[in-house]
A and B are shown apart, each in its own frame.
Chain A
């Protein structure tokens, strides 16, 4: 008391976080090579966030926001700390399915917010599929007019799509659109007559349709025009082309296809027909200057794919570790989703199983392991729409997010539980309808105080 104090009190008022980004520029889009590393230095004298690129600054800001606490008097505080952080895998994604159920724009945008809180950086937009075609195409407006659940209300306009892409970009999230073909395309049929294969019952068309018809030139003209549009609408280098679960029954029933099979010398092997289609599709997309991601069947069926193709491993029939080994052994980059189908709910703390996955636990060389670029948590939409999306996604997807960002050694379940439970309460405080991990409480309850 009374004499001049030169030393600072233990509690100095910290009012600004200085951010320094080595490579300036906020106008670009994030990509697979984007640098997300950052350093955070919190001390009495200063609070500094340093990043190579703006994407790292975003990650660092999120960390910073999680370090700020509030005491019982309402005072915000932060502990002194030094953090050097960077992601383990560059592709850390979340798949949403807007075909099995339409998801309102607001739900997608909120999901992007929470993805950013979890440092997830790829939004895999499985935008169309069998049940509905909500994507409003300017080249083929009939696709959504005839194929959406309701053309006025259950569609994504060009403006909606741009909104999503920009909202994502501002959070360092890439948007990879998936237009899955040749299977999973029933909703494409009504708006594109002649596109799908008519199935036959004996000698006559049965009235039902199957996968895209691979034998007509018109098919490839359509595909070229559509993907020309998709390539221009979605700025990311990669497009996901699907290629999964192609059912051959319809093709086998169609007389024109049988003729084609003979002409091409495919015999009875319909995987050859499938590959024929996929090959042409891949060439078309390549010529548009895009790279592609495909579901694992494309690789499993021996289709010739470009060296920079990313194979998306999703099946659990073989142990997926074996598939990861096979894909990387063949020199392709791999993305893991098989153990992370969050739509497959079950009773209890299933986040733990997701957390304990080790993406690199497969037999292979270091070179092979380097080809694993990350993974994606998938929220398929058969039983999911806006009424249950958020609680079903969070905080469970957080377990996947940490597995993909943090070091392989970060795997203590008890510690993860404490942090994830806290994080869940933080999500509630931020207004996110994240469900509980187990019994307990948060100071802020949803819809309460």
Chain B
């Protein structure tokens, strides 16, 4: 804030309005404790420089969480010490990886800016790239009686799966110092499981009938227990809650589905879980014009619920999914649009005037250019 109060006059002398401002200011504190940016380094690899530049920009906007969606279907750039083949086979190339040094650099660079790094290792869906370097991890899909050659989500019926996950998450828990890990759990397609005869047998044996959501929860449950045993808390996408998995009380549920998200916030907080809001802030959904106003006008607390419930909404995240984004367009696509989200999450509920925000945001944009 101090840096933003200092300005240059026309002759280049640096002045500051600090003392004048101090008289006007009451003590500044933020509205929400979790103010995050999601970056996706699987759909496109992001060179380190671009991540670090972004951390700077986050700090300029008082964001304090980097949600690092580090791996997904398309590529596995995370170089694992326990399972080096994951990135050897799953990354776009040997150059498109984050070494342990790279990861430590990001964590430390973030720490020096008061930014937490919460990694997301999304399973059981969104894991195509995992299968390249870890045989038998993914479910083989069947075409009739024969394997089709393609693979689906992580195979939940094998013990080897859980041995693998236990080792991997042990590593992740020690590499990433934050108290939380994001475990994903979104968009699990059941088609492949439904096609696989062994999975079908397992369903019968477990008494799940044909409700594959139960199988999904069975898997998720075991992962949650594994991660808990390493003394980490977890963040999950809303499906994990929606599908009735048994969650620890300090689970954070990330609400991302745009349809009726206020209703979802009610449900999540009524069940006593902490929530973070991403649904209205998918910044990768670009459109023509000043869409920052749409992000600015979101009022996260506008959902039916008691005071107690409202306190369970601890913040939100602006998400920049990577299907159409890489280092060539990340910075202009994220900023200053994400700044609108940053103010919404930091400032008081009554700071909503669009004209005033436009004036300040334009200035802030020029400041970020400088």
Contacts and interface: CB of A to CB of B under 8 A. Distances in A.
B328 A428 contact: yes
A448 interface: yes
A57 to B, nearest CB: 31
Interface string A412-448: 0000000000000000100001111111110101111
B96 interface: yes
A34 B51 CA distance: 47
Interface in B351-370: 369
B75 interface: yes
Contacts of A346: 286-288
B322 A433 contact: no
A445 B48 CA distance: 11
Among A345, A392, A446, the most chain B Cβ lie within 10 Å of the Cβ of A446
Given A439-B74, A441-B93, A449-B95, A388 B332 contact: yes
Contacts of B369: 387
8 contacts: A346-B287, A347-B285, A435-B324, A440-B44, A440-B92, A441-B75, A445-B327, A449-B95
Please name the 9 residue pairs, one residue from A and one from B, whose CB atoms are nearest each other, closest first: A448-B47, A388-B332, A441-B92, A391-B329, A435-B329, A439-B43, A446-B328, A446-B327, A447-B327
Contacts of A443: 93, 95
Contacts of A448: 45, 47-50, 95, 327
A436 B328 CA distance: 8
B255 to A, nearest CB: 21
B50 A447 contact: yes
B288 A445 contact: no
A387 B47 contact: no
Contacts of A433: 328-329
Contacts of B289: 383
B325 interface: yes
A441 B49 contact: no
A304 interface: no
Interface in B298-353: 322-329, 331-333
Contact of B328 (A348, A349, A387, A434): A434
Nearest to A387: B332
Interface in A373-405: 383, 387-388, 390-392
Contacts of A271: none
A438 B323 contact: yes
Contacts of A436: 44, 324-326, 328-329
Given A383-B290, A391-B332, A446-B47, 16 more contacts: A345-B286, A346-B287, A347-B284, A347-B287, A428-B328, A434-B328, A435-B324, A436-B326, A439-B322, A439-B323, A441-B45, A445-B45, A445-B327, A448-B48, A448-B49, A449-B47
Contacts of B327: 445-448
Among A348, A388, A439, A449, the most chain B Cβ lie within 10 Å of the Cβ of A439
B287 A438 contact: no
A35 B332 CA distance: 39
Interface string B252-292: 00000000000000000000000000000000111111100
Given A387-B369, A448-B49, A449-B95, A441 B328 contact: no
A390 B45 CA distance: 20
Interface in A76-103: none
Main secondary structure of the interface of B (DSSP, over half): loop
Contacts of A63: none
Interface string B128-165: 00000000000000000000000000000000000000
Contacts of B326: 435-436, 445-446
Contacts of A390: 328
Interface residues of A, number: 29
Contacts of A391: 328-329, 332
Main secondary structure of the interface of A (DSSP, over half): loop
B282 to A, nearest CB: 9
B290 to A, nearest CB: 8
Interface string A346-361: 1111000000000000
B324 A348 contact: yes
Interface in A324-355: 343-349
Contacts of B43: 439
A437 B43 CA distance: 11
Among B45, B49, B92, B327, the most chain A Cβ lie within 10 Å of the Cβ of B327
A345 B286 CA distance: 7
B328 A439 contact: no
Nearest to A437: B324
Nearest to A433: B328
Contacts of B44: 436, 439-441
B356 to A, nearest CB: 21
A35 B75 CA distance: 47
Among A347, A388, A447, the most chain B Cβ lie within 10 Å of the Cβ of A447
Contacts of B325: 435-436
A425 to B, nearest CB: 11
Contacts of A344: 288
A445 B47 contact: yes
A32 B288 CA distance: 33
Contact of B287 (A345, A437, A445): A345
Contacts of A438: 323-324
Contacts of A347: 284-287, 324
B327 to A, nearest CB: 5
A441 B75 CA distance: 10
Nearest to A436: B326
Interface string A121-165: 000000000000000000000000000000000000000000000
A391 B324 CA distance: 11
A445 B369 CA distance: 23
Contact of A345 (B74, B92, B288, B290): B288
A185 B288 CA distance: 24
Nearest to B50: A447
Contacts of B284: 347
A433 B331 CA distance: 12
A388 B332 CA distance: 6
Nearest to B75: A441
A208 B105 CA distance: 56
Contacts of A445: 45, 47, 95-96, 326-327
A434 B285 CA distance: 19
A329 B49 CA distance: 56
